[in-house]
Amino acid sequence: MKKQIVVLSGAGMSEESGISTFRDNNGLWNSYDVMQVAHIDSWYVNQNLILQFYNDRRRQLASVSPNIGHQIIAELEKDFNVVVITQNIDNLHERAGTSHIIHLHGELTKACSSKDRNKRHVIDIGYNDILPGDLSVDGSQLRPFIVWFGEDVPEIEKAFIAISKADIIIVVGTSMRVYPAASLIHYAHADAVIYLIDPAEINVSIINDVEVIRKKASEGLAFLKKQFYKKYF
């Protein structure tokens, strides 16, 4: 029976592809006010600013590629069952070939209705802009298919179930500062093996019994891949 690996990835996973994180020194939240561009309340007052913020990030995404870390995770599917639960809105896990991905905070290459939270009328827009006046089928202004602060996280149930079934959990590139994503680790079953990959010192007191690998994602994942093939094959 193949071992079940769950990867919980954050912005650090895409840092080596050239996409900045949020809370590092050169992070996005140092140049933008998160409340202005990533909070639902702001959507009602700052739509053009928000549309431009995500248009800029979508254009950048068109010009970057998955890094070795994304590729290693995709390659693990040869001998393991792999589910990636990502806080990232980029499509780099998909482009590296990972088949099972749960996007907790939405997807940059999709847009949806801004009227109805239930019938989201989600559409693929690739790397195109969303402009003021671009309408959803329900006549509302199209918005980025992103989970903003102040909104619920529709995929969280699916993520709880996935992580509760994991034999191996790899937490990579996340500061574990945003909930409910950060609480997922508490749903690991008692004998799941947990690894955390991050070049910085992360407060892991919320996770009992975790092996910390103080490396960047690509290096840490290459190290772990070697470990797994020694240990399980």
Decide the pairing of beta strands 106-112 and 143-146: antiparallel
Binding span for ligand APR by CB under 6 A among 52-60, 129-137, 155-163, 196-204: 196-204
Binding of ligand APR by 221 (CB under 6 A): no
Nearest residue to 125 via CA among 39, 48, 55, 46:
55
Rounded distance between C-alpha atoms, residue 226 and residue 223, angstroms: 5
Smallest gap from residue 123 Cβ to ligand APR (A): 21
Contact residue for ligand APR among 6, 7, 10, 143 (CB under 6 A): 10
- 163-192 positions binding ligand APR, by CB under 6 A: 172-175, 177-178
Closer to ligand APR by CB, 10 or 144: give it. Answer: 10
Residue where the block lists tokens 């619920």: 152
- 101-120 positions binding ligand APR, by CB under 6 A: 105
SS3 48: helix
Binding of ligand APR by 15 (CB under 6 A): yes
Closer to ligand APR by CB, 105 or 143: give it. Answer: 105
Please give the positions annotated as active site.
105
Closer to ligand APR by CB, 162 or 217: give it. Answer: 217
DSSP code per residue over 102-158: EETTEEEEEEE-SS-SSS---EE-TT----TT-B-TTSSBPEEEE--BTS--TTHHH
Contact residue for ligand APR among 1, 157, 200, 233 (CB under 6 A): 200
Smallest gap from residue 136 Cβ to ligand APR (A): 22
Which residues, 6+ apart, have CB-to-CB distance to 97 below 8 Å?
71, 74, 75, 77
Rounded distance between C-alpha atoms, residue 20 and residue 79, angstroms: 31
Rounded distance between C-alpha atoms, residue 168 and residue 10, angstroms: 17
Residue where the block lists tokens 């407060």: 203
In the bound state, the residue with its beta carbon closest to ligand APR is 12
Binding of ligand APR by 216 (CB under 6 A): yes
Q: Which residues lie near ligand APR (CB under 6 A)? A: 10-12, 15-16, 21-24, 27, 87, 105, 172-175, 177-178, 197-200, 202, 216-217
